[in-house]
Amino acid sequence: MNAIPSISRRALLGAVLAAASLPLAAGTGEVRHGDLVIRAARVAATVKGQKATGAFMEIENRGGEAEVLLGADSPVAKMVQIHRTEFENGIARMHPAGRVAIPAGGRVVLARGGLHVMLMGLTRPLAPGETVPLTLRFARAGAVTLRVSVVAVRAAGAGGS
């Protein structure tokens, strides 16, 4: 009988810690750009010599027209692409996703294991706690530059909001 309360206490503590960690991963918080709301933008930290990393966020389209994410740029990366991770025979492979549609009144979540922004040809290591500029280009709303928080790899993996 002792094990049951012990497990539930641990589960409760885990839930509290998970909730408490969300603001840390939220990075720039919420950025509004026209009809778009961009939340929890964050980029995974890197170690010396690492040439690529992922950026993650949630993009909500509050407008009445569909929006399209065309691409992205950052001064810390020679090339930035929108990628989609797909599992083929149990192996994760990343493919360029091209343009990403965000339906009117809808949202897309860019998260580890799915859609993400890939920063390639990194010009330097990215340390937790710093912020890096990331420009997103949209078909209707135009370009917006975010200051994106660099977070520890584990914190970067969770979904948006």
- Contacting residues toward Cu ion, per CB under 5 A: 83, 94, 118
- Rounded Cα distance, 96 and 102, in Å: 17
- Rounded Cα distance, 109 and 56, in Å: 8
CB of residue 44 vs Cu ion: minimum separation in angstroms? 11
CB of residue 121 vs Cu ion: minimum separation in angstroms? 13
> Residue 19, Cα to own-chain centre: how many angstroms?
18
* Terminal Cα-to-Cα distance of the chain (whole angstroms): 37
- Give the residue with the Cβ less far from Cu ion, 66 or 94: 94
- Give the residue with the Cβ less far from Cu ion, 105 or 113: 113
- Give the residue with the Cβ less far from Cu ion, 42 or 83: 83
CB of residue 11 vs Cu ion: minimum separation in angstroms? 33
Question: CA geometry: angle at 106 spanning 103 and 111, to 5°?
Answer: 100
- Rounded Cα distance, 136 and 28, in Å: 14
Residue whose C-alpha is closest to residue 161's, from 81, 55, 68, 57: 57
- Give the residue with the Cβ less far from Cu ion, 30 or 86: 86
CB of residue 14 vs Cu ion: minimum separation in angstroms? 29
